[in-house]
Amino acid sequence: MTKVIGLTGGIGSGKTTVANYFKEMGVPVYIADDGARAVMQSDTVIKEIKETFGEALFENNILNRAKLADIVFNNADKLAQLNAIVHPAVKKDFELWLLNHRDKEYVIYEAAILFESGRYKDCDSIITVTAPEEIRIERVLKRDNTTREQVLSRMQMQWKDEDRISKSNFVINNVNLKIAREEVVKILKILNIKQNQS
């Protein structure tokens, strides 16, 4: 049975970088954000988003993700409504993806809101990626066309690092890329030992 290793961390923690290290080392990685983007193109999800948030978010039947983000990241109720539409579709998408990787000993499921969505319950082990808040803010400002206030607002919508860490099996402090990579190698060794013992 393929083990699912959850990989999470707050915005700007560098979890995608860590996910890429796992990928380079031959571990299949499912990125929940990419899965969400894909399912948001499906007719069923588009219909539900239109019914919940209105037609104004669509131009030529294409969802304006920036407009939607502005709505949901400033309103916890709206975010919950969107998650109720998208999460079940992503779960289905992941299950199909997992079928194509059932020959693997384990796979990585990367999601920013692994805990908030309740998906952590489906994982055999969990890795949390952390970094100091200022570094995280700088990374997001460099990466996205956004403001400091918007980054802080998103951070407030997510779990705090200490809450994630308390429910995780492994923690990678992602400040130095070389050290973060070495942590990935260590985790893989531990996972391989556990797999061989079971």
* Residue 12 counted as an annotated binding residue: yes
* Residue 44 counted as an annotated binding residue: no
C-alpha closest to that of 161 among 147, 172, 153, 146 = 172
* Residue 168 counted as an annotated binding residue: no
Distances (CA, A) of 111 to 43, 49, 57, 62: 23, 21, 25, 24
* Residue 118 counted as an annotated binding residue: no
Please tell me the distance from the alpha carbon of residue 55 to that of residue 39, in angstroms, as a whole number: 18
Beta bridge partners of 106: 3
* Residue 194 counted as an annotated binding residue: no
* Residue 54 counted as an annotated binding residue: no
Binding residue numbers: 12-17
Q: Which residues are annotated binding-site positions for ATP?
A: 12-17
